[in-house]
Amino acid sequence: MYERRQDGLAGAKIMSARDLLKALAPYREPNQRRSAIELAVTIVPFVVLWAGAWWALSLSYWLTLAICVPAGAFLTRIFLIQHDCGHGAFFCRRALNDRIGRVLGILTLTPYRVWQQSHATHHATSGNLGRRGTGDIDVLTVREYRALPRWRQVLYWLYRHPLVLFGIGPAYYFLLRNRLPLGFSTGDRHFWISTMGTNLAIALTAVAMILLLGPGPFLAVQVPITLLASSIGVWLFYVQHQFEETVWDENTAWDRHEAALYGSSHYELPGLLRWLSANIGVHHVHHLSSRIPYYRLPQVLRDFPELAKIRRLTIIESLKCVRLRLWDEDARRLVSFAEAKRIPA
């Protein structure tokens, strides 16, 4: 008999996170044929849309930009396949996951090995107040924010502003920050090789496309697709952890499995958006058992319907998460700057 616990947000009774992790083990086996099909139905439409956006340049740049929207969505999906490869969840063999992940990293401007290590740290430390800062969005507690000098409060306010988080920040991260393995020393040669190898492959691909199409047409198509995909990706990552009743604990009280299940959202999206985002909205299940291929996550929800109610966010509810900036340690919830001002010192 599994231990049961009451989830305060949804009122749904489920087994403990550790027991649930064991129950999810059978879902971790990838289907090689399904994975190959998922890769094909993502790469081929992206290439077709990219070519269509280039062709539309002769008619109207507004038409090009319109085509760039679905192309950006498919590029986001490519990144999420790379994400599954990084977890060893997309193909059965680790070597094949890594090879595909490295190639996709050229399209997503993301050095595979560096991102894989950073993201693994994120999974291993998510919700732990004592181990913030790697692979996540910076979060301060109300007390930490109040203790900062005024100029650093302003910097944090700017950092958490939507224009920075979902506009300037994603562009900086994918176009510039990913070009160096920041956070890794020069002695970590595997990470530097991954970064510089990806940079070289990106440069060679860009040069080939520029020679074929010209610099203006290439940039007119590639830049908006990249910017849109990077903003979509950061938005998805944001709402997966930055919601009111997420979980943050100090080292002594932190439990990795409970934080994974209750500190991650179930971002409930319409069918098409769910497909384009590779079911990443079922993030609480993914964080608990990251080896489950994304195309098996809906099956988990069907077999464990109580999970669909845990930390559920609709699109409308997710928009309200943008105002949440600080962690209130006493109330155990994320709050806005305005709400933080009303909290007694």
Would the CA dihedral through 48, 295, 83, 281 be positive or negative?
positive
Q: Which residues of 304-319 are buried (b: 16+ CB within 10 A; e: fewer)?
A: beebbbbbbbeeeebe
Mean local confidence (pLDDT), 43-71? 98
Neighbouring C-beta atoms of residue 233, cutoff 10 Å: 24
Its sign, for the CA torsion 175, 179, 184, 188, is positive
51: CB partners within 8 A, 6+ apart: none
Tell how strand 4-6 and strand 140-141 pair up.
Answer: unpaired
pLDDT number for residue 183: 74
- Across all residues in the chain, what is the average pLDDT? 92
Q: Is a pLDDT exceeding 50 seen at residue 15?
A: yes
Radius of gyration of the chain (CA): 21
Residue 13 has pLDDT above 50, yes or no: no
Question: What is the reported pLDDT for 3?
Answer: 35
pTM across the whole model: 0.92
The two counts, helices (H) then strands (E), for the chain are: 17, 7
pLDDT tops 50 at residue 6: no
Q: What is the pLDDT of residue 7?
A: 42
H or E stretch including 338?
Answer: helix 337-341
The model's confidence at residue 18, banded by pLDDT at 50, 70 and 90, is confident
First and final C-alpha spacing in the chain: 45
Indicate the number of domains in the chain.
1
**Which tens digits make up the pLDDT trace of 227-282?**
999 999 999 999 999 999 999 999 889 999 999 999 999 999 999 999 999 999 99
pLDDT for residue 167: 96
Identify the pLDDT of residue 17: 87
pLDDT higher than 60, residue 32? yes
The predicted model gives 89-94 an average pLDDT of 95
Query: Residue 187 has what pLDDT?
Result: 64
Task: Say what percent of the chain tops pLDDT 90.
Answer: 87
C-alpha of 244 from chain center: 18
13-17 own/partner pairs: CB under 8 Å, 24+ apart: 13/306, 14/304, 14/306, 14/307, 14/310, 16/257, 17/255, 17/257, 17/258, 17/260, 17/261, 17/262, 17/288
CA dist 316 and 150 (Å) reads 33
Tell which residue, 76, 120, 93, has the closest CA to residue 36. Answer: 93
Confidence check: pLDDT of 134 > 50: yes
Res 133: pLDDT: 81
Domain residues for the domain of 287 are 4-341
> What single-letter DSSP state applies at residue 27?
G
Residues 6+ apart with CB under 8 A from 154: none
Q: Which of 249, 134, 221 has its CA nearest to residue 183?
A: 134
The pLDDT of residue 204 is 97
Mean pLDDT value of segment 284-305: 96
pLDDT tens for 320-332 read 999 999 999 999 9
pLDDT at 123: 94
Cα separation of 251 and 52, whole Å?
51
Which of the four pLDDT bands, split at 50, 70 and 90, describes residue 4?
A: very low
**Quick count: other Cβ atoms within 10 Å of Cβ 220?**
18
The pLDDT value given to residue 181: 86
Region 155-184: what's the mean pLDDT?
93
Amino acid sitting at position 88: G
Average pLDDT over residues 206-210: 97
